[in-house]
A and B are shown apart, each in its own frame.
Chain A
Amino acid sequence: MARAELRFYLNGEPVHVAGDEAFLTLSEYLRQRRGMTGTKIVCSEGDCGACSVILGRPAGGTIRYESINSCIHFLHQLDATHVVTVEGLSRNGALHPVQQAMVACHGSQCGFCTPGFVTTMASLFEQDEGRRTQRLTEEELRDALSGNLCRCTGYVQIVEAACSIDPASAPRMGELYPDKAMAAQLAEWSRDEVRVEGRDVEGNELLAYLPRTWEAAAAFKAESPETLVVAGATDLGVQRNKGRIAPRRILGLANIDGDDEVRIEDGVLTIGARATWTAVERAIRTILPDYHRILLRFGGPQIRSAGTVGGNLVNASPIADSLPFHFVTETELELVGTGGTRRVPIADFYLGYRKTALRPDELLRRIVARLPRGNEVLRLYKVSKRKNLDISTFTAAILVRLDGARIAEARVALGGVGPVVLRLPRTEAFLHGREIDEETMREAGRLARGEITPITDVRGRAEYRARLAENIFVKFYHDVAAEHAHAAV
């Protein structure tokens, strides 16, 4: 019998939710239903971090806490979690050390972004292994706070506040909210199948189903083409908040067992579709530094902690930052349906603008990529108006297998230059067998320009994208040459 209500903790208190509330975003629930107005709303699209809260998920007998955007996180995604809001950080009237530091260091001016910074900063003292002993550094804060916008301070005093905190004074969430019993309770709840129903303001039926198995998920999805599959909802939440979509029939993947981990074995990278970008980022940091570098620019930590690899790939945006990498590594996607599983090469998965080869009953379960080998050089590029937390204007992946100075094989994938991410067969063929030098790469750039059909939009003109496509080959040459020169020294 499926459980008919959501269960989670809010600032240490258990909460049971059923009916229409299950379909609200967390920020709506907090502000409008609970009167907890410390969490602020600015953009409703996960791009400013003002609504950041700390989300705890059960992880091996304990609870792992990360900052997420509550404005694009639905309550039906919160089953078996612990949500800590800014109201939950100061206990018995005593300010959290992060709050004290923000006060003392002039970290707030207008104050509207401050609760989001405070919660994100408080989450930085969470570590998997014991207590954090090092102070936060400016360098790590440049990433860790990249999901929070402030218009007043220019960030300097916020960073100073964060760096001033003595880590010994900062309580971990497990100290604010003893986690042993709570973790056990969350683990127990997460083993439930959940089915919550409600009605929206127009009287439409709402349904959120959280199955335990892929098979059950596929069967549910097959029942109706209206089904929206929800993992991180980092795009769905935006589309819903902007009124472009009214989610009514939800298939949530939160309580499915497994497929949220990242494995690297024998030169093969296997990513469960439910793995968050934060999990990927942790796993590939050293083995795929270029991919890691791109991931850090992928979105703020709040987005990376909610958004999943599967969601990113199935969402099928032509500017999805992960795609060029997967195209040149000839990734295969493992799809699961009511009739079993099948594997599809990624190049065959995308049929057109936001169209994929997924059948009505199918879900993406695993992503299998072959890692570059020793004689292969991989470079990934992302160009956007702002360096961090910005959707790309242009993305590229160039992978060449070198035989001495000769290119034995080249694979090139460009994003943002067409309705889908494109491989460039003519350019690849041209490069095949040639010596890698600047002139060759310049010529490749000219060819590449002829293989793409970029458009003008808010992120850049067609001519700009074409120029980037042309220049990126020369840039690749210089990057590789510089690295080789560096290696030679």
Chain B
Amino acid sequence: MPVVGKPLPHESAIGHATGQAPYIEDLPPRADELWVDFVGSPCARGVLERIDADAARALPGVVAVLTAADIPGHNHWGGVVVDEPFLAASELAYVGQPVVAIAAVDRETALRARRAIKLHVREEQPVLTIEEAIAAGEFLGAEQRIARGDFAAAWKSAPHRLETTVTIGGQEQFCLESQSALAIPEEDGTIIVHSSTQNPTEIQAVVAEGLGVGMHRVVCICRRMGGGFGGKETQAAIPAFLVALVASRTGRAARMVYTKDDDMKVTGKRHQYRADIRAAFDEEGTIQGVEIRFHSNGGAFVDLSFAVMERTLFHADNGYFIPNFDVVGRVCRTNLPPNTAFRGFGGPQGVAAIEHTIQEIARVLGRDAADIRRRNCYGIGERDITPYGQRFVHNTLPEIYERLLASSDYAERRRRVAAFNAESRTHLRGLAITPVKFGIAFTATFLNQGNALVNVYTDGTVQVSTGATEMGQGVNTKIRQIVADEFGLPIEAVRMMTTSTEKNINTSPTAASAGTDLNGLAARDACEKILREMRTFAAGIFTGGETGLGTDPALIRFRDGRVFDERRPGNFLLFDQFAKRCRLNRVNIGARGFYATPNLHFDRATGRGNPFNYFTCGAAVAEVLIDRLTGELVVDRVDLLMDIGRMINPGVDRGQVIGGFIQGLGWVTTEELVYSPKGHLLSYSPTTYKIPGVDDVPRDFRVAFLDNARNTHNIYASKAVGEPPLLLGLCAWAAVKDALATVAGAARAVPLNLPATGEEILRCLTALEAHVTALPGVLAPAK
């Protein structure tokens, strides 16, 4: 029986539930193992003048205290621009930036040493915000732009114009497992690095660079991560390098696990953005042109900020056909930790900007924003070219709107919300639908490749290793299902192996929602190579000679654990018997597979091309309740409809959709990064940084899927699922804006920024109600 399409449990589920699935901190220690800690910069910007580490070195149990000078290779790394030091040598660029690495016999001693080390620095005035960076001319890289049509002309002739600015907050990934790594020295200068990373190949490369050895002397292994969400795409590098450095210097095993506080303080997050927007539209709400100037807070080093900004520009249209479109983006250099990937990768900020714009257009025109959204939705066969020239084929958004507005009873609830707001003196309700159209592929075309190793053993069992890393998203579960079906085997016969750069070479990060697409297809390619050999051999067994059947390998079947010619299924071999025969007859039953997504290209010079393989689409409706006196927000009900094609594992995929949505909900409501004026993150632990809890899940939460078998661009007509649902969290933010628009009316903008914390909502209400005395606002001065 095929298993693709079945909601099989996560391949590690039993290990998760029993606590027996090990993460890096759980691996049994080697007897000589050292614990590694670090000392970070005490200031956001400054110059390191002296390191006073004598007291630390003298502590019993301290084995090594290492600085930039101890790094044998290059002390700089970076996936795009090599600009970030492993250990700062002189210039200090953000609070907590690693300066000294400590290795000690246990973690208490390492911590003692950490406290005993004094950094003498000359502090300088940091640049922390986007506004400060713009004023100081502090940027990373050049401006990026995607444009078409003539915005200036559209603006000039438009019946309605809107100018608006919105700031969009960053977000901490908050992986439950913090950054962690374990290095084990082996013979001949080889280092094995266990890293909690989405990007083993990059870890291998940067460790080799930093140690000044060839990549063939470094193996990076990742069995699983306790969450990734983009936070371990590049930023696993520093801890991985530091343990490798210690292992290489001391010849001892070395392990490092950031505390949650350190992890939150010193690693990058989702970029904070500012969007300055102009929109031209007509009386009906048809958008004639949009211009957006994005600035992101990149932090101190480039990391992935250019690619994140590029994806912002690619998603600033979201699901809307905008004939005159001019968006530019610039990354600000600030003295914060380098901001990095986080599920959505710039897409959420682009979509937030355009959804903010749509809500404002609706408010100005006194219309329901849902009407504006449908009116401007991409068409089918017409109005379907994106600003970067890619045709949006298989557009399911119109169908999604139609179904979701009906199933969520939107029109009737809109009436009820209006009636409630006319009545209540203490609360406000808001309602909104927002769509998502998320482009699937790395926008850096070369990354759209995957490789896999499939080994069939003589007892009929199979091991699969791919470049995909498992961070909870279920990529290994899905690939296991694909491979089981290729060989017609029960799921138990297939085992997913640890991702390792020894087996999976030159891999792309597991990111861009493309883990299953790329690595699943690579695994299938490997299976196909093996099956080709097997079919030829099997045809010799089951056909010709006395069988009376003509030999045709194409008619050999692998099904239900049996191998046979489809013309005579009664004559079969069990797969294990067959595998054994393969070996005895010197037939190769192991293979490496490869996949490269075809037809992708993008010309950055012209801003034109076909950067995406396809789009994952969906929409969500949120209804919210706001306490006008405290600003407290409750997201009462959410209806969500996704088109993720034919699901390889509906249980896994549903989990991705719900989990992604709730993460997006956190981003737009309670997750607020608060910094001190000197650049110290104040909300650096779950006490002060509030990700959603179980009671923040909407009480009425309806999740549905569109049955769509038309996505011929991908394996089994499935679609990538990881990131897109996160962007639907914006429906709750839009619903808050909808509620506040009741108070603002047509004349006053809703000054809501993102996230819509209770404080932010109350700030807006206070500002709006001070000017609107006619409404039943309880905060309004009495007449």
A115 close to B (CB within 8 Å): yes
Determine the distance from Cα of A243 to Cα of B229 in the docked complex, in whole angstroms.
29
Cross-chain pair count, CB within 8 angstroms: 252
* Option from B18, B471, B782 in Cβ contact (under 8 Å) with A442: B782
* Option from B17, B25, B426, B683 in Cβ contact (under 8 Å) with A475: B426
Interchain nearest-CB distance for A86 vs B (Å): 4
Q: Please tell me if the beta carbons of B654 and A157 are within 8 angstroms of each other in the complex.
A: yes
Interchain nearest-CB distance for B176 vs A (Å): 4
B696 close to A (CB within 8 Å): yes
With known contacts A47-B687, A385-B758, A154–B661 Cβ distance under 8 A: yes
A202 close to B (CB within 8 Å): yes
* Option from B688, B694, B759 in Cβ contact (under 8 Å) with A159: B694
A93-130 vs B, Cβ < 8 Å mask (1 yes, 0 no): 00100111011101111111111001000000000000
A153 close to B (CB within 8 Å): yes
A441-467 vs B, Cβ < 8 Å mask (1 yes, 0 no): 010000000000000011111011001
Q: Please tell me if the beta carbons of B260 and A42 are within 8 angstroms of each other in the complex.
A: yes
Interchain nearest-CB distance for A372 vs B (Å): 22
A211-231 interface with B by 8 A CB criterion: none
With known contacts A154-B662, A478-B426, A42–B176 Cβ distance under 8 A: yes
Interface 9-mer from A144-152, A179-187, A267-275, A320-328: A144-152
Determine the distance from Cα of A438 to Cα of B780 in the docked complex, in whole angstroms.
12
Q: Which of B10, B694, B763 has the most CB of A within 10 A?
A: B694
In the complex, what residues of B have CB within 8 A of residue A113's CB? 176
A40 close to B (CB within 8 Å): yes
Q: Please tell me if the beta carbons of B17 and A438 are within 8 angstroms of each other in the complex.
A: no
Interface 9-mer from B107-115, B119-127, B311-319, B325-333: B107-115
Interchain nearest-CB distance for B480 vs A (Å): 15
A413 close to B (CB within 8 Å): no
In the complex, what residues of A have CB within 8 A of residue B227's CB? 110, 112, 151-152
Determine the distance from Cα of A50 to Cα of B691 in the docked complex, in whole angstroms.
14
Determine the distance from Cα of A112 to Cα of B8 in the docked complex, in whole angstroms.
20
Q: Which of A37, A112, A145 has the most CB of B within 10 A?
A: A112
Q: Please tell me if the beta carbons of A99 and B692 are within 8 angstroms of each other in the complex.
A: no
Q: Please tell me if the beta carbons of B629 and A471 are within 8 angstroms of each other in the complex.
A: yes
B386-432 interface with A by 8 A CB criterion: 425-426
In the complex, what residues of B have CB within 8 A of residue A37's CB? 19, 22, 25-26
* Option from A87, A106, A458 in Cβ contact (under 8 Å) with B683: A458
Q: Please tell me if the beta carbons of B685 and A99 are within 8 angstroms of each other in the complex.
A: no
Determine the distance from Cα of A98 to Cα of B16 in the docked complex, in whole angstroms.
12
Determine the distance from Cα of A37 to Cα of B670 in the docked complex, in whole angstroms.
32
Interchain nearest-CB distance for B761 vs A (Å): 10
In the complex, what residues of B have CB within 8 A of residue A157's CB? 651, 654-655, 658
Q: Please tell me if the beta carbons of A108 and B16 are within 8 angstroms of each other in the complex.
A: yes
* Option from A35, A118, A439, A468 in Cβ contact (under 8 Å) with B762: A468
| Residue of A whose beta carbon sits closest to that of B757 | A385
Q: What is the number of residues of chain B that contact chain A, defined by CB distance less than 8 Å?
A: 88
* Option from A47, A106, A385, A468 in Cβ contact (under 8 Å) with B654: A106
In the complex, what residues of A have CB within 8 A of residue B688's CB? 391, 458-459
B748-783 vs A, Cβ < 8 Å mask (1 yes, 0 no): 000000000111001100100000000000110010
In the complex, what residues of B have CB within 8 A of residue A389's CB? 693
With known contacts A110-B226, A478-B425, A102–B655 Cβ distance under 8 A: no
Determine the distance from Cα of A114 to Cα of B17 in the docked complex, in whole angstroms.
6
A255 close to B (CB within 8 Å): no
Interchain nearest-CB distance for A383 vs B (Å): 5
B679-726 interface with A by 8 A CB criterion: 682-683, 685-688, 690-697, 701, 703
Classify the interface of chain A: helix, strand, loop or mixed.
loop
With known contacts A40-B176, A151-B174, A146–B17 Cβ distance under 8 A: no
Determine the distance from Cα of A388 to Cα of B175 in the docked complex, in whole angstroms.
20
In the complex, what residues of A have CB within 8 A of residue B685's CB? 43, 45, 47
B537 close to A (CB within 8 Å): no
Q: Please tell me if the beta carbons of B697 and A385 are within 8 angstroms of each other in the complex.
A: no
Q: Please tell me if the beta carbons of B19 and A38 are within 8 angstroms of each other in the complex.
A: yes
B225 close to A (CB within 8 Å): yes
Q: Which of A50, A150, A391, A438 has the most CB of B within 10 A?
A: A150
In the complex, what residues of B have CB within 8 A of residue A42's CB? 176-178, 260, 686
A156 close to B (CB within 8 Å): yes
Determine the distance from Cα of A391 to Cα of B15 in the docked complex, in whole angstroms.
33
In the complex, what residues of A have CB within 8 A of residue B472's CB? 108-111, 152
In the complex, what residues of B have CB within 8 A of residue A475's CB? 426, 627, 629-630
Q: Please tell me if the beta carbons of B261 and A146 are within 8 angstroms of each other in the complex.
A: no
A164 close to B (CB within 8 Å): no
In the complex, what residues of B have CB within 8 A of residue A154's CB? 655, 658-663, 692, 697
Q: Please tell me if the beta carbons of A109 and B474 are within 8 angstroms of each other in the complex.
A: yes
Interchain nearest-CB distance for A487 vs B (Å): 18
A70 close to B (CB within 8 Å): no
Determine the distance from Cα of A95 to Cα of B9 in the docked complex, in whole angstroms.
15
With known contacts A110-B176, A110-B177, A202-B112, A141–B694 Cβ distance under 8 A: yes
Q: Please tell me if the beta carbons of B17 and A102 are within 8 angstroms of each other in the complex.
A: yes
Determine the distance from Cα of A155 to Cα of B12 in the docked complex, in whole angstroms.
18
Determine the distance from Cα of A100 to Cα of B13 in the docked complex, in whole angstroms.
9
Interchain nearest-CB distance for B694 vs A (Å): 4
In the complex, what residues of B have CB within 8 A of residue A47's CB? 685-687
Q: Please tell me if the beta carbons of A103 and B695 are within 8 angstroms of each other in the complex.
A: no
Determine the distance from Cα of A432 to Cα of B7 in the docked complex, in whole angstroms.
65
Determine the distance from Cα of A40 to Cα of B474 in the docked complex, in whole angstroms.
21
Interchain nearest-CB distance for A416 vs B (Å): 13
24 CB-based A-B contacts, threshold 8 Å: A40-B23, A40-B176, A40-B177, A41-B25, A42-B177, A44-B259, A50-B176, A90-B18, A99-B18, A108-B12, A110-B471, A111-B12, A154-B661, A155-B694, A156-B658, A201-B109, A202-B112, A385-B759, A386-B693, A387-B632, A467-B762, A468-B762, A475-B630, A478-B778
Supply 11 further A-B pairs (C-beta < 8 A) apart from A111-B16, A149-B691, A154-B655: A108-B472, A111-B21, A112-B177, A141-B694, A142-B694, A151-B227, A155-B694, A386-B692, A457-B682, A458-B682, A468-B762
| 9 residue pairs, one from A and one from B, having the closest CB atoms | A38-B19, A110-B472, A111-B16, A112-B226, A154-B662, A109-B472, A386-B690, A37-B26, A108-B16
A binding-site residues for B, Cβ under 8 Å: 31, 35, 37-45, 47-48, 50, 85-87, 89-90, 95, 98-100, 102-104, 106-115, 118, 141-143, 145-146, 148-159, 201-202, 238, 242-243, 381, 383, 385-391, 393, 438-439, 442, 457-461, 463-464, 467-468, 471-472, 474-475, 478
